[in-house]
Amino acid sequence: MSTPLRLLLVNGPNLNLLGTREPGIYGSQTLADVERLVTDAAATRGFEVRAVQSNHEGVLLDAIHAAREDCAGIVINPAGLTHTSVVLRDALAGVALPVAEVHISDVRQREPFRHHSYVSDVALVHVIGEGVSGYATAVDLLIDVIAGQADD
Ligand code: CA2
């Protein structure tokens, strides 16, 4: 079967608030800006994007499971679930698609409870602390991984 030219973009809880509060940490761009940035970055490489943001873990799990059918990879900012969720990690591992983990802020320089990620060992790409533009970097690196797999 040929590789589908589509990525799933997943944004976790509270990221719908982007651009409305805490601009010193997360910048002033909104979730709509993030989704546009990712869509444009992917389009440059010939990929479409399906975007989901939810404050409900199960909605995120269902979207990840569905990606198995028609996506080539997943770009995810799991937000606070990064540091708490074994089930999110299991969903990502279960679909066996290449994953790029993105964090807008540099979680390594923040509170100790943000230093551990349940997702990092199932992600092939990590872009941390580059602000919203890190999502575009993640798209590029993830598509490089997908293109490399297609050559195998
Ligand atoms: O830096 C990131 O991208 C985070 O994934 C963002 C999460 C945080 O829990 C992670 O440790 C790091 C928080 C997302 C909440 O975003 C907000 C944005 C604006 C206002 C309030 C929350």
Hey, where are the domains in the chain?
6-151
CA 139/CA 97 separation, integer angstroms: 14
Does residue 67 contact residue 95 with C-beta atoms inside 8 Å?
Answer: yes
Q: Which CATH class is domain 6-151?
A: alpha beta
Q: What is the pLDDT of residues 44-85, one digit of tens each?
A: 999 999 999 999 999 999 999 999 999 999 999 999 999 999
The answer, yes or no, to whether residue 111 has pLDDT greater than 80, is: yes
Instruction: Give the Cα separation of 119 and 134 in Å (integer).
Output: 17
Catalytic residue list contains 26: yes
Res 1 pLDDT > 70: no
CA–CA dist 117, 99 (Å, integer): 14
Q: Which amino acid is at 128?
A: I
Q: List, for residues 8-43, the tens digit of each pLDDT value.
A: 999 999 999 999 988 899 999 999 999 999 999 999
From 103, 115, 118, 135, active-site residue:
103
Pairing of strands 48-53, 99-103: unpaired
Q: Report the pocket of ligand 1 as residue ranges, CB < 6 Å.
A: 14-15, 17-18, 21-22, 26, 77, 79-80, 82, 103-105, 107, 114
pLDDT at position 139:
98
Q: What is the pLDDT of residue 30?
A: 98
